[in-house]
Amino acid sequence: MRIRPRHVAAICVAAAVLVLPGAASADNANNSALGKDLDALLGDASLRGGQVGLVVRDADTGSVLYSRQGDSLLLPASTNKLFTSAAALEVLGPDYTFSTTVSGTGRRVGSVLIGDLYLKGTGDPTLLAKDYQDLAAKVAASGVRTVLGDLVADDTWFDSVRLGPSWAWDDEPYYYSAPVSALTVSPDTDYDAGSITVKVTPGVVGQPAKVELTPATDAVRVVDTATTSAAGTSPAVVVDRPHGSDTITVSGTIPAGGAAANEFMAAGNPTAVAASVFRKALADNGVRVVGGTSFRATPAEATRIADRKSIPLSQLQVPFLKLSNNMHAEILTKAAGRKVHGQGTWDAGLRALGDKLTGLGVDPAAMQRVDGSGLSRMDLVSSGQLTALLVAAKGRPWFQSWYEALPIAGNSERMVGGTLRNRLVGTPAANNLHAKTGSMTGVSGLSGYVTAANGQKLVFSLLENNFLAGSVRSVEDAVALRLATYNGAADTAQPRLAPRVSPQHAPADRRTALECGWTKSC
């Protein structure tokens, strides 16, 4: 399937030094071999005219080994998730779980519920179609076989604001920018809450292509004009969702006998999709709902019939951070707001998380965060603040599991290496560097932990903005590799080593190709 880059024209305005080839660090006090090498790396032509911040610290003492524009406010992209994940662990706790409940109102007469059946969510991003089947089976096991009222979907745990501040409108159709709801269903165990997989399969030459949705739902209208082309022709399938709609359009051509094409789209109304999946699950389990589907809060007097708990937050951190899941970040932000301030909003959540960041070495007043994921171009943070967080986190009881949940460079296991699994393969940074990636058009970053050649534990944060090159990840990898080969007091200047992508581990799935290529989720 043709992958379409999504470009954003907005350019951030931040106070930072222009990067010129060979420019010396203005605020790097020492003249060490490490400092000279890092200055040279940041003089790479791919960063010409851009802005950069890099801070390197000793992970145990917090002492600064290198700083270049460490206080400059820059767009963090998905490195923003470091703040969100750490603060969420402080607010919610590692054992926090999301609950989904089914309740009834009215009265029971035998197997008949004379009232409405309520499905209430609190933000669980891990719900799959099979989990709704399990909930429906519990309803059937309770003895309810007929519901004379409506199936009511309750997503009021969060507010009704679905998209974050300054999220790009042309990213709206895609899974990495899905609407945030307290009641969703995910298509697979990546747990992309509120998204739908669109599978396009060829038919007979000249005839329409077949379109299949996962999860199967009637809450989405599909307009399919795609046709099957001759075998051997190039696929040219385009999947889209017009702005503000619940319609998915499929157009173009797909060759006969060729592989199916898959696109990963955001649902226009994730609550409605979840309700439709549950209604079908009820029918599959012999429970008939006579009424329609409606949307409102569950009454206090409703009687609970079935429930489900998610995996704990400590485990959710793995798909969240390894795969840089934007929706997890936003759900955790609103969940924090609901717990602390009784409001599932971005404003309440960011205040709740910000209060905890002060205990993690960060001053929330010295930066601007308007969402949890880093999708917004209004987010502004500094490399210095990110490294302060990384140092402080080492002293928290949840640190080890959080550290292991970060992507690990050069490890080909998807849920170990994550967004770094194809980077720095076969180098001293492989299975050493634990770091969060960040990528948008004109924005990139890498922040995390690395053990130097002398055994010294280091933290670092590198943020690059406003560059014109398609990617500056080679610079990031070169910086990480230089830190991995740092030798303390015995350190000497080193030739620039070339990080590499292992051919056998070349990008082969949508998260590597999309998130780490053109979109905002890396």
Q: What is the DSSP string of 435-469?
A: EEEEEETTEEEEEEEEE-TTS-EEEEEEEEES--S
40-88 per-position pLDDT tens digit: 999 999 999 999 999 999 999 999 999 999 999 999 999 999 999 999 9
Amino acid at 232: G
Strand partners of residue 328: none
pLDDT score, position 497? 63
pLDDT score, position 411? 97
Confidence of residue 302 (pLDDT cuts 50, 70, 90): very high
pLDDT score, position 55? 98
Q: Which of 445, 425, 429, 449 is nearest to 437 (CA)?
A: 445
Q: Which of 72, 142, 324, 439 is catalytic?
A: 324
- Angle CA(359)–CA(385)–CA(12) in degrees, nearest 5? 135
Residue 81 a catalytic site member: yes
Mean pLDDT of the chain: 91
pLDDT at residue 120 greater than cutoff 70: yes
Q: Which CATH architecture has domain 33-95+313-490?
A: 3-Layer(aba) Sandwich (3.40)
Strand partners of residue 214: 197
Confidence of residue 502 (pLDDT cuts 50, 70, 90): very low
Which CATH number does 98-310 carry?
A: 3.50.80.20
Percent of the chain scoring above 70 in pLDDT: 89
329-387 per-position pLDDT tens digit: 999 999 999 999 999 999 999 999 999 999 999 999 999 999 999 999 999 999 999 99
Q: Which of 78, 85, 195, 461 is catalytic?
A: 78
Q: Which of 101, 100, 104, 98 is nearest to 299 (CA)?
A: 104
pLDDT score, position 31? 72
Residue 78 a catalytic site member: yes
pLDDT score, position 359? 95
Confidence of residue 495 (pLDDT cuts 50, 70, 90): confident
- DSSP symbol at 360: G
Q: What would the mean pLDDT of 206-218 be, rounded to a whole number?
A: 97
Say if strands 64-68 and 51-58 run parallel, antiparallel, or are unpaired. antiparallel
pLDDT score, position 494? 86
Q: What would the mean pLDDT of 194-221 be, rounded to a whole number?
A: 97
Q: Where in the chain is the domain with CATH 3.50.80.20?
A: 98-310
> Which runs of E-coded beta strand occur in 256-350?
261-266, 288-289, 293-295, 303-309
pLDDT at residue 25 greater than cutoff 90: no
Q: How many CB atoms lie within 10 A of CB 287?
A: 22
pLDDT score, position 82? 98
Percent of the chain scoring above 90 in pLDDT: 88
Q: How many CB atoms lie within 10 A of CB 296?
A: 13
Q: Where in the chain is the domain with CATH 3.40.710.10?
A: 33-95+313-490
Confidence of residue 6 (pLDDT cuts 50, 70, 90): very low
